Structure 1
Amino acid sequence: MEDSFDEDCDYLFKAVLIGDSAVGKSNLLSRFARNEFRLDSKPTIGVEFAYRNIKIGDKLIKAQIWDTAGQERFRAITSSYYRGALGALLVYDITRNATFANVKKWLKELREFGKPDMVVVLVGNKCDLGQTREVGEEEGREFAEKEGLCFMETSALENVNVEEAFLHMINKIHEITSQKSLEAKILNDNTTKSLLAAKEIVHIDHEVTATKQTTCCSA
């Protein structure tokens, strides 16, 4: 999908893809950003990213998705990229139980370096390979509910739930951002009203004092 990099956006949302190596993070991103899938996809070195513009209501959002390397030797590089991220897709491979077991480690790292209100979607990828499944869908759902995460199973190969997973994350980020903006506006409005009320009181007191002084002088 073509993105207009010159187009003015209302919001820029940064999100990250995390999880073990070879769980399909890069293909999830390329499927979402460009509707592409590569069978010969190579492991990510360090960090790569892609953009896509999303329209929510009357707002145009530029989603900046960072694809982080899953190998341990790149952890020092990628951990800093969590900072400033508003959302994350935490990905495991349903055909490899070890990648699901490591989700706890990734989530711990995400909460250590990420924002407290970050939107996290747990993604069980490669659901097209059901015949070699090692992680049940209910296992993923139960873990997500326990940790307060959203959950979906996807297939980057067959383009199942890929769009839905990313859009769910982006919509939730938009909801939180909009709520924060509204709360800030209300706080600002209330502060302004309080200041105006204080000025009125001072002004009235000044007038009363001036009147008393005039009366005294007249007498």
Structure 2
Amino acid sequence: MSAAAPTALKILLIGDSGTGKTSLMYRYVDDRFRSDELATVGVDFKVRHVVVNDQCYKLLILDTAGQDRFRTLSSSYYRGAHGVILVYDITNRSSFDNLSSWFDELDYHCPPGENSNVVTMIVGNKLDSLDQCAVTTEEGQALARRRGSLFVQSSARTRVGVAQAFDHLVEKIVEKMALSNQTAAPSTQGNTVSKSQFDEAEEADEGSSCGC
């Protein structure tokens, strides 16, 4: 008898361009960092397998472009999301202030309420540039409390907080799914990532399988 397929979880990274969303994704999945990473055009994605409570989960992590001209392109990717990470750059005050508009967009596509199973997390990235900090930890924590979100500070360059952010988010997603008894895979309606693209990303992720 073949083993059961791992449960699929869809996670989005949103926030202004230049906050390090792509770097966070690649650090978490491939454990690599490039300071010359190009801005995402449209949507990039990676796949990683993780184990939580002895159960395997397949994470589909989507890195969305932060530029205004790509907002309509990335909007369809909210549908079926289990978790959303909102990223700001601690050295860029406007990227933090703009989180309010990103939350508005998230609320529009994933309305909050009892039926919403989306877990959100605010990540203050570029902790390695603390000497240029423009947003205090307390401000980030306060916003997270107001929005009912998780909060982590990170540095994709030095690895600090990256695994903690993704792992904690996934744990909370699994916990919420268990409480709501919703263990089905996310809907693919409206998701423009094709099966061939998904398979290609998974093949490129060799070595990340948890053996389920």
* Ranges in structure 2 where 5+ consecutive residues have no aligned partner: 184-212
What is the CA-CA distance between 1:21 and the residue it aligns to? 0.1
What is the CA-CA distance between 1:22 and the residue it aligns to? 0.4
Q: How does 1:123-138 map to 2 (within 5 A)?
A: 123-138=123-138
Tell me which amino acid in the other structure corresponds to 1:119: V
Question: Is the contact made by 1:25 and 1:67 (CA closer than 8 Å) also made in structure 2?
Answer: yes
Q: How does 1:85-124 map to 2 (within 5 A)?
A: 85-114=81-110, 116-124=116-124
Post-superposition Cα deviations, 1:13-69, rounded to whole Å, max 9, x if no partner, equal 001000000000000000001001011100000001001100112210001100000
- Say what the alpha-carbon RMSD is for the aligned residues: 1.5
- 2:17 is aligned with 1:21: yes
What is the CA-CA distance between 1:179 and the residue it aligns to? 2.0
Alpha carbons of structure 1 residues 10 and 108: separation in structure 2 relative to 1, 3 Å? same
Question: Is the contact made by 1:9 and 1:62 (CA closer than 8 Å) also made in structure 2?
Answer: no
Alpha carbons of structure 1 residues 182 and 131: separation in structure 2 relative to 1, 3 Å? closer
Equivalents in 2 of 1:137, 1:182: separation in Å?
A: 34
Equivalents in 2 of 1:14, 1:158: separation in Å?
A: 25
Percent identity for Structure 1 against Structure 2:
40
Choose which of 22, 45, 50 in structure 2 pairs with 1:49: 45
Structure showing greater relative contact order (alpha-carbon pairs closer than 8 Å, 6 or more residues apart): 2
Q: How does 1:135-214 map to 2 (within 5 A)?
A: 135-181=135-181
Question: Is the contact made by 1:15 and 1:87 (CA closer than 8 Å) also made in structure 2?
Answer: yes
- TM-score with structure 1 length normalisation? 0.78
SS at match of 2:181: helix
Equivalents in 1 of 2:52, 2:152: separation in Å?
A: 21
Tell me which amino acid in the other structure corresponds to 1:33: V
What is the CA-CA distance between 1:147 and the residue it aligns to? 1.2
Structure 1 stretch displaced more, 65-74 or 112-121: 112-121
- TM-score with structure 2 length normalisation? 0.80
Question: Is the contact made by 2:11 and 2:84 (CA closer than 8 Å) also made in structure 1?
Answer: yes
Post-superposition Cα deviations, 1:122-166, rounded to whole Å, max 9, x if no partner, equal 000001101111000100001111111110100000000100000
Equivalents in 2 of 1:9, 1:114: separation in Å?
A: 27
What is the CA-CA distance between 1:182 and the residue it aligns to? 7.8
Choose which of 58, 65, 69 in structure 2 pairs with 1:69: 65
What is the CA-CA distance between 1:8 and the residue it aligns to? 5.3
Question: Is the contact made by 2:117 and 2:177 (CA closer than 8 Å) also made in structure 1?
Answer: no
Equivalents in 2 of 1:182, 1:118: separation in Å?
A: 12
Equivalents in 1 of 2:50, 2:163: separation in Å?
A: 11
Greater Cα radius of gyration, structure 1 or 2: 1
Paired residues, what number?
177
SS at match of 2:13: strand
